Amino acid sequence: MINKGILIVVSGFAGSGKGTLMKALLSQYDNYALSVSATTRSPREGEREGRDYFFVSTEEFERMIENDDLLEYAKYVSNYYGTPKKYVFDKLAEGKDVILEIETQGALKVKEKYPDTLLMFVMPPSVREIYNRLKKRGTETEEVIMQRMKRADEEAAFIDQYDYLVINDVVEDCVRRMHEAITAAHYSADRNMEKIEEVKKQFKEFLKEER
């Protein structure tokens, strides 16, 4: 009955552990498809083209904007990041729940364009923990880490516009809670207007026949 895929945005501070959560969610359930973004940032060690990101030049990125290939895009700590449209629409049409792991500006743009989007925000247990995780990852300089901390502080202003908070304490618990919230979202009335209209139509027809 309810088989349409929904669009899900997952945001979270750098170092909130959302990447780990997404991996676990995708490996445990088969109804999800994770969108791969395009970015002008350089690959980190271990990141792979087409799996983690499509790494492109600024010129290529600007061409994608011009061609209207992106669902949304934003600048984040001096780099462009954007969501290619095609994959998202193809997977939604297949009935998959499509996850965009993007920052707050992009998230709110998506919600404005597609009000059915489910917005989830991942929070680490504390701010100190964010700093510690970034430091431990060891992929950025202290200067970039501090820029990301500043950006995280700015992003905190938008959290109240999200639908759900995901406190990333224990990964397995967190993944289960996310999956439950998404499952519940499938059954919300406003995401099932077609079904509601269909029932109304059936009532009309039924009552006409019985007259």
Match 């247990």 to its residue by tokens: 125
Question: x/- contact string, 13-52, with ligand 5GP (CB under 6 A)?
Answer: -x----------------------x---x-----------
Neighbour tally for 155: CB within 10 Å: 19
By the rule CB under 6 A, 102 interacts with ligand 5GP: yes
Measured from the CB atom, is 139 or 188 closer to ligand 5GP?
139
Distance, CA of 144 to chain centre: 23
Closest listed residue to residue 155, CA positions, set 84, 102, 79, 100: 102
By the rule CB under 6 A, 61 interacts with ligand 5GP: no
Measured from the CB atom, is 139 or 202 closer to ligand 5GP?
139
Measured from the CB atom, is 6 or 80 closer to ligand 5GP?
80
By the rule CB under 6 A, 133 interacts with ligand 5GP: no
CA distances from 205 to 1, 62, 193, 198, 210 (A): 20, 53, 18, 11, 9
- Alpha-carbon distance of 184 to 93, in angstroms, equals 20
Measured from the CB atom, is 14 or 182 closer to ligand 5GP?
14
By the rule CB under 6 A, 178 interacts with ligand 5GP: no
- Alpha-carbon distance of 94 to 97, in angstroms, equals 9
CA distances from 32 to 89, 100, 204 (A): 13, 11, 37
What b-and-e string marks burial along 33-56, b requiring 16 or more CB atoms within 10 Å of the CB? Answer: bbbbbbbbeeeeeeeeeeeebbbb
CB 147, min distance to ligand 5GP, A: 11
**Candidate ranges 103-111, 160-168, 182-190, 202-210; the one touching ligand 5GP (CB under 6 A):** 103-111
| DSSP SS3 for 14 | coil
CB 103, min distance to ligand 5GP, A: 4
Measured from the CB atom, is 82 or 124 closer to ligand 5GP?
82
Site residues (CB under 6 A) for ligand 5GP? 14, 37, 41, 72-74, 76, 81-83, 101-103, 105-106
